[in-house]
A and B are shown apart, each in its own frame.
Chain A
Amino acid sequence: QSVLTQPPSASGTPGQRVTISCSGSSSNIGRNTVVWYQQLPGTAPKLLIYNTDQRPSGVPDRFSGSKSGTSGSLAISGLQSEDEADYYCAAWDDSLKGFWVFGGGTKLTVL
């Protein structure tokens, strides 16, 4: 069981807006920023969002992140077929001596 909770699947049609949620606790998302990764089959995860709402250079502004309390959210607007992938959230957890925690991943299907 992953520490952060994500829906296992999400879907949308081209052009639609899709959101993926990530539920945590006071020791991780409640205290720290949220990170989002995109993973295509057979490849390493790719950084999509850092510091909750910041996009690395090269990531389209169709991708946006936010946080409220102990939950984070990834929004993808203007959905494209190339967005079909697995999406993972992550956050630093301050319990014990601290460690990175991840969500179980959300498989996004573009219909």
Chain B
Amino acid sequence: QVQLRQSGPGLVKPSQTLSLTCAISGDSVSSNSATWNWVRQSPSRGLEWLGRTYYRSKWYQHYAVSVKSRVTINPDTSKNQFSLQLNSVTPEDTAVYYCARGPGSFAYWGQGILVTVSS
């Protein structure tokens, strides 16, 4: 059974970097069939896919255009996890952030972390 466990701060100051981690159990971040995604949810923006990382003989990252200039998603094979970094955050980035396993649809989700951007 795949389980995803998220960690990271719940409060980030404006202009700083939001950093979250998603630890994987029951699967491998280096799987040749899975994709590892970040999705956020807020009342104003609804559900929004931020991007993904996946391994197909080499590592790929793929980002949503809306955040492409500010986002980085990286795998950590030594810890079997992947991370999200979102730079230059504003209050508009306040949301519940989820990690999720693909491809095709998201059958497994992390528990979600509410990240508030405020000074």
**Which residues on A are within 8 Å of B, measured CB to CB?**
2, 33, 35, 37, 43-47, 50-51, 56, 88, 90, 96-105
Query: Looking at the complex, which one of A35, A44, A98, A104 makes contact with B105 (CB distance below 8 Å)?
Result: A35
For the complex formed, measure the closest distance between the CB of A34 and the CB atoms of chain B, giving whole angstroms.
10
Q: Are B112 and A102 neighbours in the complex by a CB distance under 8 Å?
A: no
Query: Looking at the complex, which one of B39, B46, B48, B109 makes contact with A105 (CB distance below 8 Å)?
Result: B46
For the complex formed, measure the closest distance between the CB of B71 and the CB atoms of chain A, giving whole angstroms.
12
**Which residues on A sit within 8 Å (CB–CB) of B46?**
2, 102-105
**Which residues on B sit within 8 Å (CB–CB) of A96?**
65
B110 interface hit (Cβ, 8 Å): yes
Known A-B contacts A44-B110, A96-B65; A101 and B104 likewise in contact (beta carbons under 8 Å): no
For the complex formed, measure the closest distance between the CB of A5 and the CB atoms of chain B, giving whole angstroms.
11
Q: Are A102 and B110 neighbours in the complex by a CB distance under 8 Å?
A: no
Q: Are A44 and B64 neighbours in the complex by a CB distance under 8 Å?
A: no
- 19 A-B residue pairs with Cβ-Cβ distance under 8 Å, sorted by A, are A2-B47, A35-B104, A35-B106, A44-B98, A44-B111, A47-B106, A50-B104, A50-B105, A50-B107, A56-B107, A88-B47, A97-B65, A98-B62, A99-B49, A100-B49, A102-B46, A102-B47, A105-B46, A105-B47
In the complex, chain B residues 62-83 whose Cβ is within 8 Å of any chain A Cβ:
62, 64-65
Which A residue's beta carbon lies closest to that of B39? A100
Q: Are B65 and A47 neighbours in the complex by a CB distance under 8 Å?
A: no
**Which residues on A sit within 8 Å (CB–CB) of B65?**
96-97, 99
Q: Bound state CA distance, A101 and B64, in angstroms?
A: 10
Residues 43-59 of B, flagged 1 when their CB comes within 8 A of A and 0 if not, give 00011110000000000
**Which residues on A sit within 8 Å (CB–CB) of B48?**
102
Q: Bound state CA distance, A44 and B38, in angstroms?
A: 12
Q: Bound state CA distance, A47 and B64, in angstroms?
A: 21
Query: Looking at the complex, which one of B39, B47, B98, B107 makes contact with A47 (CB distance below 8 Å)?
Result: B107
Which B residue's beta carbon lies closest to that of A100? B49
**Which residues on B sit within 8 Å (CB–CB) of A88?**
47
Q: Bound state CA distance, A103 and B111, in angstroms?
A: 21
Q: Are A47 and B105 neighbours in the complex by a CB distance under 8 Å?
A: yes
Q: Are B109 and A44 neighbours in the complex by a CB distance under 8 Å?
A: yes
Q: Bound state CA distance, A99 and B61, in angstroms?
A: 12
